[in-house]
Chains A and B, each alone.
Chain A
Amino acid sequence: MTAQEVRLCGLLLQEHFGDVVEKVGTHLIRCGVLTLRALAHETKLPLDLVKKSVCVLVQHGMCGFGPGRRGPAGPVEYHVNCEHILHMLRYPRYIYTAKSLYGDTGELIVEEILQRGQMTMSNTIRTVADRLTHNMPEGQTMDYSEVVTAFSRLVETHFLQRCPPSESSSGSGDLPQAMKQPSDPESHPDCKGKRRRLSDDGEMDQRAAKKAKKDNNECADEGIYWQVNFERFHLHFRDQAIVGAVSCKLDQTSSEIVRTMLRMSEVTTPATAACTQALSANEIFRALPSTYNIERPILDQYLALLVDDPMEFVGKAGDSGGGMFGSRSARIFRLLLRKRHLEQKQVEDFAMVPAKEAKEMLYTLLSENLVQLQEIPKTPDHAPSRTFYLYTVNQLPTARLLLQHCYKTVGNLIERRQFETKENKQKSQRIEAILASLQATEADATQLAEVEEMITAPERQQLESLRHHINKLDSSENQVDESIFLLESYVNSTQTSR
């Protein structure tokens, strides 16, 4: 793991789980694999705290465990899955996607499971139904069956998956991969509809009957845990990005065509394939939504257009030039991406930038490692005066570099936000202390209101601006995460195809 990734993981763990888990987590990331005792010894924390932290991490799928180096008889060793921790940045996006696809119910289901790591189906349904009932007007209760339907649909479309069955505690045996259950709603246990007080529902089996206590809605699915399938969400985001890119480049109709193609290949193509399976034009025509009245010949034309487009649909190298270096540098960068190799003079001409500026910008990009220099000697002795120097962009290393920059950016954003919160916490605490002391002296209501207004008038503005800053920082985090996703997908897909 790179330094920036470790830093970001630490900040995320600290925000969600506290300092103790952060300490344990970052240490484990840095060391790779450790036993529990080594971890406790090196972090100098009490063993119980370390155990609790590791439990939290395992529960959320961020830490895995397995037989140690000494085999099944030796102590268990733990390692951290960094990608899982970094996914925490994307939780709002997952939840929002679930909302847009499956409504409020789906949204709450995904949110509960994300917050708790893994849950049984019955637990989830119960909690979600309670929350929905809470928000409904008086007298109405949420029907369990609706929640069950939403859950089943999430499972069918693979957005939720079953957790791998637990390995034995001594750690022997291989760790099974996360299983994607077949899309068979009958395969997961049934949960009762409306809430009932009686415990003798006919469908519960004996094990559940034994455990029936206060909780009379015990369903027969103990030990079956569900977790969010991040890969599936990522596929969805990827498809969204592709469709968005096509609609930017061409037009709305062609993006619809692409969307249809992608939807058709969802089930036939494995997730990491470089391109979808071949689909005939007939199939596409039949699958197009009826709202778009696309005639057959027009479809053919669009397809031809899409095929000719030189843009690669699956992920692109980052377009960061615009932000840090100005739009003209961005132009030069894009130019180099497209034309691969260019000489100094050609860069000036194509980018329509004055020579001096072009040189400066190229040099800046070069010093930031976004652009590389390629030598092509004319003579065997590589004499500089007789060598071509071409500027070029290496996409994969550049993408990686930008990805690291993104991680650094998000880390900076989080730190800045924490700094702002801490600074202003003191101020707001002071206000609260004044108010509390006033209440203690039993000033009457009007006096209180007066004082409150008096105090908070200048400070209200400060609090407002604080809120505004924090919102901005949070929003930036979300948007940088979109770039992170694109770059990560690009790096991963390029690596696997090599």
Chain B
Amino acid sequence: MLGTFLVLLYAGASLAQNMCEMGDGYKVRLSIKTALGDQAYAWNENEMFLFRATLAFAMRKHFNDSQYNILVCNETQRVSFHFVVADPRNPHALMEKVQVEKAVRASRHRINSAFLLSDSTLEFLGIPPTLATPFRPATPPWLIAFGVVIGAVCAGIIVMLTSSLVQRRR
């Protein structure tokens, strides 16, 4: 009984590994030491669990439905790995790459924050970041400074011209 269970477990794990390696997924690369320096955390199984949970959250949030299984493989020392998302309705098929991309882009900021990283240090190779629009004030700031200075200078000219006119009349 136990033996059958273990064999099934082993088969399931290798099947998952196979699906990940064969499947068309995204490569993720993390640069934790570069981003955090002394405050960097070590990458271990717990962090990987968080990654899979965060990505499952992103998929669930975007598609508004049930649980997603994230399969990870090809981990390296660099801290980079491949992942694919299993389709919850059909456990032997994978979600399409385009769908995964949409979900990741929608929740990119949340995913980054979970790891205290940014778009450049938590890279999804092939998914371009959506950068925040910079704040544009209603009046360009240079115009305000310009207005102040030109007002002061014109006032100075008027003062000097009137004073010399007055002097000449006297």
Partners in one complex: no
Give chain B's interface residues, CB within 8 Å of chain A: none
